[in-house]
């Protein structure tokens, strides 16, 4: 399958927003049949990882550096249920040094069901902040400017 096929497993980037489909399975729901709150964090993590993958940034090839979530503010707006098809939207908001600010929304039928403001930092092997390499920062800036 070509990398621009939809719905590709890693989603797609359109107008500066990464869009990734998520199907809700039984394992994603609580006893009431509603998506368990922690699963939204998992969906957002997957979307951030796949966004990097589509930008050509392969985290498995990092040498002694890693992205870590420093801060995440979540807002649960509307529940999703078994078999729903969601779409996670990820956009870059700001870059500074080792820090990236992102906005993420989990959409259901065109409506926002979950929102998260996420601060991610690049750190070295000792957990100290490390400035984003310029080639990586350029890819993120392209997302900001789209």
User: Known catalytic residues?
Assistant: 30
User: If you search the block for the tokens 């092997």, which residue do you land on?
Assistant: 125
Between CA 114 and CA 136 the distance in angstroms is 28
Between CA 98 and CA 111 the distance in angstroms is 32
Between CA 139 and CA 137 the distance in angstroms is 5
Phi then psi for residue 39, to 5 deg, are -65, -30
Per DSSP, the three-state class of 25 is coil
Per DSSP, the three-state class of 120 is strand
Between CA 144 and CA 95 the distance in angstroms is 9
Q: C-alpha angle 38/42/46, rounded to 5°?
A: 170
């Amino acid at each position: 399958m070509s990398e621009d096929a939809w719905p590709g497993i890693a989603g797609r980037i359109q107008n500066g927003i990464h869009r990734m489909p998520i199907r809700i399975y039984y394992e994603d729901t609580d006893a009431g049949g509603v998506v368990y709150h922690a699963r939204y964090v998992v969906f957002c993590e997957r979307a951030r990882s796949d966004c990097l993958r589509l930008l050509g940034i392969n985290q498995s090839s990092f040498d002694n550096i890693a992205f870590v979530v420093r801060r995440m503010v979540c807002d649960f707006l509307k529940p999703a249920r078994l078999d729903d098809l969601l779409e996670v939207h990820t956009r870059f908001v700001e870059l500074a040094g080792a820090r990236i600010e992102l906005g993420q929304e989990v959409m259901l039928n065109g409506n926002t069901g979950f929102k998260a403001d996420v601060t991610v930092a690049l750190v070295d092997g000792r957990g100290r902040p490390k400035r984003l390499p310029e080639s990586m920062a350029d890819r993120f800036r392209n997302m900001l400017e789209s």
